[in-house]
Amino acid sequence: MARKLILNCDDFGQSPAANEAILHLLEERKVSSATIMTPAPAFEEAAARVRERGYANVGLHLTFTSEYDAIRWRSLTGNPSLHDESGHMYRTVEEFERGADPKAVRLEMAAQFEAVKQAGLAISHVDNHMGSLYGVATGRSYLPLTLWECSKRKLPFRLFRGLYEKDAFMASIDGPGTRKTLAQVVALADLLGVGLPDYLLSHSYHLEEGETYESFRAMMIAKLYDLPDGISETYIHPAAEDEELAGRVRSWEKRVWEYRLPLDNDFNYALRDAGVELVDYRFVQQSRPRSRLKAAARLAKALLQR
């Protein structure tokens, strides 16, 4: 398969500044898609614009954490186990994994799916804010629940079928345990008919020491030329200039860089020159149906391995 890339805008609905940037990128067709946060303060504004423009490439950003002091939000269901001492969702994934009641997580997830439905949005895919459902901090994973909810709605989900070893973060989590767990989750997704991309490419969310827009752009362009065959996804968190948030949110400058990047002539030239095609999650779900019988056999084998 030729090299395909999903370039997704996370955190749609986080703030008016995020909405401004993401809506512009969607309008100019410079990104594949975006995912919207139903508990966030600018959700209604974002949803209204999606309805107005008829975008079919907006997904649900399942949200169980609220990391910024400057922009906090509560759960839709109001369950106390989903909140910290301030009454907002937890700041960190570890706090969420340790503090959340599983039943409350299930009800909140259902409420977030219902919120996009009530807002009149036909979502195209699902992903997760900060990876809070993956069990990365304590091993308390909600991926089976998430995949089941996606399966009921025939929606693909952000995960990865394989570890891309050239990606620094993926290389850092590689190991027998990770590969065993991944094999189980991928087999479960295939059994449930939930589409997944082949690879996930990461980059640092925060500003790194000495990093400039030019060095950030060069790093992202290099990834295009080194993209593996198949369907890869990378994600950005674009936002417009905002003086107040720039002074209160760590690395807000990088959010602005991630808005500039898809509009950058050099980046767009590199996409064409590297022979990379932008696709969205509809391509993931439709392109390669997989045998559920074979997936069941793979899942059984993965669960029996020690």
Write phi, then psi, for 89 (nearest 5 degrees): -60, 155
As a whole number, mean pLDDT of residues 179-191 equals 92
pTM over 0.85: yes
Q: Which residues contact 82 (CB under 8 A, 6 or more apart)?
A: 64, 75, 89, 90, 96, 99, 100, 101, 104, 105, 108
pLDDT score recorded for residue 246:
95
pLDDT score recorded for residue 53:
97
Share of the chain above pLDDT 70, in %: 98
d(CA 126, CA 122) in angstroms, rounded, equals 12
d(CA 122, CA 124) in angstroms, rounded, equals 7
pLDDT reading at 161 higher than 90: yes
Q: Where are the domains of the chain?
A: 3-304
pLDDT score recorded for residue 169:
86
pLDDT reading at 237 higher than 80: yes
pLDDT score recorded for residue 140:
95
pLDDT score recorded for residue 95:
98
pLDDT score recorded for residue 24:
98
Q: Pick the closest to residue 153 from 119, 184, 121, 131 (CA basis).
A: 121
As a whole number, mean pLDDT of residues 15-40 equals 98
Point out the least confidently predicted range of 79-83, 151-155, 290-294: 290-294
Q: Does domain 3-304 have CATH number 3.20.20.370?
A: yes
Average pLDDT, the chain: 94
CB 56 within 8 A of CB 31: no
Q: Pick the closest to residue 160 from 97, 26, 173 (CA basis).
A: 173
Share of the chain above pLDDT 90, in %: 87
Confidence label for 159 from pLDDT (cuts 50, 70 and 90): very high
CB 147 within 8 A of CB 278: no
pLDDT reading at 306 higher than 60: no
As a whole number, mean pLDDT of residues 249-275 equals 97
pLDDT score recorded for residue 297:
76
pLDDT score recorded for residue 294:
78
First to last CA, the chain: 33
Confidence label for 177 from pLDDT (cuts 50, 70 and 90): confident
pLDDT reading at 302 higher than 90: no
Confidence label for 287 from pLDDT (cuts 50, 70 and 90): confident
Dihedral sign from CA coordinates of 202, 12, 255, 15: negative
CA gyration radius for the chain?
A: 19
